Amino acid sequence: MNHKEANNKNNRRKFLQYLGVAAASCTVASCNNDEASNANTSKQQNSQQTFNWKMVTTWPKNFPGLGTGAEYLAQIIKEMSGGRLNIKVYGAGEIVPAFEIFDAVAAETAEMGHGSAYYWKGKNPALQFFSTVPFGMTANEMNAWLYHGGGMELWQRAYQPFGLVPMAAGNTMVQMGGWFNKEINSVEDLQGLKMRIPGLGGEVLRLAGGTPVNVPGGDLFVSLQKGVIDATEWVGPYNDLAFGLYKAAKYYYSPGWHEPGTTLECFVNEKAFNSLPQDLQAIVRNASRVANQNMMLEYVARNNDALVSLINEHNVDVREFPADVIEKLRELSAQVVADVVGSDPFAQEIYDSYQGFLAKSKAWHDLSERAYLNLR
């Protein structure tokens, strides 16, 4: 083979190598294009997929403020998602009883629940801190702690073992102290009292000598009227008027020492939540924040008119708890909280965060809101 033939052979070899590389590159590019096309198609299909969920609640269907708050949340999720996420709301007892919705969502019977965390104290007493604490935070303070003070991260950790994703979805503001069929003139009047009062407040009543009874909202009127209970707290004038509780008890006491700012929650089954595209997850989270704010504003707008109606139209006897009763309840509240956190390091972590935020908030509010309300 002469020099010219050798060069031609080398050139042919290089040309064939080039063709091979080019072919391989085309194949890879084609594969990449196919993968990108498939990914885009999958993403497009996912963005067009419609999800139909069930929400179970602890409230009577369409009950003002609470039940309608759940309906409002479902409505705005549908609107914000362009109809891609549709949620049918079920009142207490329609699918499961009021106090079984936590388990129902964990078991995937429904994708979403709407209630308040103190109803699940049997799962873990520390969960009550995400609802309300006697003599604790107001609604604005509670929301500030949850959204900007580390509370939400702790709440998510607390619900994670149950496969649930919690979100704040409403607040009833400072509640009333409740309806009583006898006057409360001293701490002794609480002894032997059968009262519907949930959460930490119920444990405080127990230490005061009473008997806390957890009755679903829909059964309150009959239970009070028939003497199954001697007293009940519910929410405040707006809701209490709607239930007609003034027909079953004579005395209406203030203030709601046990529930100074009760957070209502939406919790979602974790598997169901993770099955949503990221934009729908963001919609659920942000819709919950909108519903949270909307409920607070509704109570501010409705409570006073309802109170005027209770007093002027129904002759309700509005009273304040005596100072010595309040001080005793405050003392017992500290004991109840100490019992909850005493044997559970995570409960202690939650309460330390809660109490630390409350201390800072109180210091500021003494100079701001409290000072202004006093002078107003």
Contact 336, 207 (CB under 8 A): yes
Report CA Rg, the chain: 29
- In order of their start, the domains of the chain are 49-171+261-300 (3.40.190.170)
For residue 84, pLDDT beyond 50: yes
pLDDT (tens digit per residue) in 200-234: 999 999 999 999 998 999 999 999 999 999 999 99
Band (1; pLDDT cuts 50, 70, 90): low
Query: Binning pLDDT at 50, 70 and 90, where does residue 48 land?
Result: confident
Quote the CA–CA distance of 27 and 29 in Å, as a whole number: 5
Instruction: Reply yes or no on whether the pLDDT at 241 is more than 50.
Output: yes
Strand 194-196 and strand 317-320: the pairing is unpaired
- Residue 343: pLDDT band with limits 50, 70, 90: confident
Alpha-carbon distance of 80 to 180, in angstroms, equals 44
Token readout for 372 is 């202004």
Place 334 in a pLDDT band, splitting at 50, 70 and 90.
very high
Closest Cα partner for 357 from 145, 148, 156?
A: 145
* Residue 157: predicted pLDDT: 98
Q: What is the mean pLDDT of residues 72-93?
A: 98
Cα 215 to Cα 229: distance, rounded to the nearest angstrom: 9
Question: For 157-197, what is each residue's pLDDT tens digit?
Answer: 999 999 999 999 999 999 999 999 999 999 999 999 999 99
Measured in degrees and rounded to the nearest 5, phi and psi for residue 229 equal: -130, 155
List of long-range contacts for 361-370, beta carbons under 8 Å, 24+ apart = 361/137, 361/141, 361/144, 361/145
Q: For the chain, give me the number of helices (H) and strands (E)?
A: 13, 11
Is 320:252 a contact under the CB 8 Å cutoff?
A: no
CB atoms within 10 A of CB 306: 18
User: Average pLDDT in the 302-327 region?
Assistant: 98
Residues, the chain: 376
| Joined tokens for residue 188 | 């002794």
Note the pLDDT of residue 29. 45
| Token pair belonging to 352 | 């330390």
Q: In this predicted structure, what is the pLDDT of residue 18? A: 43
Distances (CA, A) of 67 to 56, 91, 293, 308: 10, 7, 15, 23
Q: What pLDDT is recorded for position 153? A: 98
**What are the angstrom distances between the C-alpha of 340 and each of 39, 151, 199, 200?**
50, 18, 12, 9
In this prediction, residue 33 carries a pLDDT of 52
**What SS3 state is found at 207?**
helix
Spatial CB neighbours of 347, under 8 Å, sequence gap ≥ 6? 124, 125, 126, 129, 340, 341
At 110-132, the pLDDT tens digits run: 999 999 999 999 999 999 999 99
Three-state SS for 210?
coil
Task: Specify the 3-state DSSP secondary structure of 287.
Answer: helix
The pLDDT mean for the chain works out to: 91
Looking at residue 23, its pLDDT comes to 44
Mean pLDDT of 259-277: 98
Is the pLDDT at 45 greater than 60, yes or no?
Answer: no
Whether the pTM exceeds 0.85: the reply is: yes
Q: How far is CA 315 from CA 248, 307, 310, in A?
A: 13, 11, 6
Side chain identity, residue 111: E
Identify the DSSP state of 337.
H
Kindly state the DSSP code that residue 181 receives in the 8-state scheme.
S
pLDDT band at 306 (very low <50, low <70, confident <90, very high): very high
What pLDDT is attached to residue 30? 47
